[in-house]
Amino acid sequence: MKFASVVLDVDSTLCGVEGIDWLAQQRGGDIAERTRALTDRAMDGEITLDAVYGERLALIRPNRDDIEALARIYRQTIAPGAADAIRQLIGQRTQVVLVSGGIRQAIAPLARELGVPVQAVDLHFDPSGAFAGFDHASLLATQMGKREVVRSLSLPRPILAVGDGSTDVAMKDAVDRFVAFTGFHKRAQVVQQAAGEVATFGELLQLVRGDRAR
């Protein structure tokens, strides 16, 4: 099967970083440990993203400078071959979109460089650049939100979704195939629920083109 659209997760799929965990690491100590533990439990499916999204940000309270630094990290940690694969997909008129529970302002610069749209969660800042909350209405801050966002995009079918976490599995009902990306992390629970797995963007490119069955 050749795919007309590809929906890509960002953290630990397109890029080798978990953005909110990286922000927590800049705070160090207890904040970093507590945030990482919450992220792992959510991505492994032990607890819902709804239960931890606001809690993690309240612990970290990232300011505008932090988000600009994270934007640089996203660009530096892009998966090997990802930019070229995305360029090839766009060149063959495959629609590519980033759908992430991460922070939109941090992902947007990379998305612009790649020439693809991004759906993610907006942060709010006060006039001094200090953290002032996040978009509580965003579906992407919830466990099943990616499914609803993908449905709302009305992408050309067939659609392939790619991601590494439990929130990505939620896209299964909105696409024609979901595969686990294992190039950065291999989460057994996610692989078990996927229709296959890819570890590189070269493998992903072959899958989208119909050159491999899984």
* Residue 100, domain CATH: 3.40.50.1000
The verdict on whether 11 is a catalytic residue reads yes
Of the candidates 11, 21, 164, 168, the residue annotated as catalytic is 11
Residue 66 belongs to some domain of the structure: yes
Question: Number of C-alpha atoms within 13 angstroms, CB side, residue 11?
Answer: 24
User: Buried b vs exposed e over 136-149: b needs ≥16 C-beta within 10 Å?
Assistant: eebbbbbbbbbbeb
Question: Number of C-alpha atoms within 13 angstroms, CB side, residue 48?
Answer: 11
Domain with 27, as residue range(s), is 5-209
Residue 158 belongs to some domain of the structure: yes
What is the rounded CA–CA span in Å between residue 198 and residue 176? Answer: 16
Residue 111 exposed, middle or buried by CB count within 10 Å (0-12, 13-18, 19+)? buried
What is the rounded CA–CA span in Å between residue 111 and residue 101? Answer: 14
Q: How many independent structural domains does the chain possess?
A: 1
Residue 214 belongs to some domain of the structure: no
- For residue 212, the model assigns a pLDDT of 61
pLDDT tens, position by position, for the chain (214 residues)?
799 999 999 999 999 999 999 999 999 889 999 998 888 888 787 888 888 888 899 999 999 999 999 999 999 999 999 999 999 999 999 999 999 999 999 999 999 999 999 999 999 999 999 999 999 999 999 999 999 999 999 999 999 999 999 899 999 999 999 999 999 999 999 999 999 999 999 999 999 998 765 5
Asked if 77 contacts 172 with a C-beta cutoff of 8 angstroms, the reply is no
**pLDDT tens digits, residue range 13-31?**
999 999 999 999 999 889 9
**Residue in this structure with the two tokens 């941090």, named with its chain if needed:** 106
Sorted by sequence, the CB contacts under 8 Å of residue 148 that are 6+ apart come out as 139, 174
Give the residues across from 103 on adjacent strands.
121
Q: What is the DSSP letter of 142?
A: S
- For residue 49, the model assigns a pLDDT of 81
The verdict on whether 164 is a catalytic residue reads no
User: Buried b vs exposed e over 40-56: b needs ≥16 C-beta within 10 Å?
Assistant: bebbebeeebeebbeeb
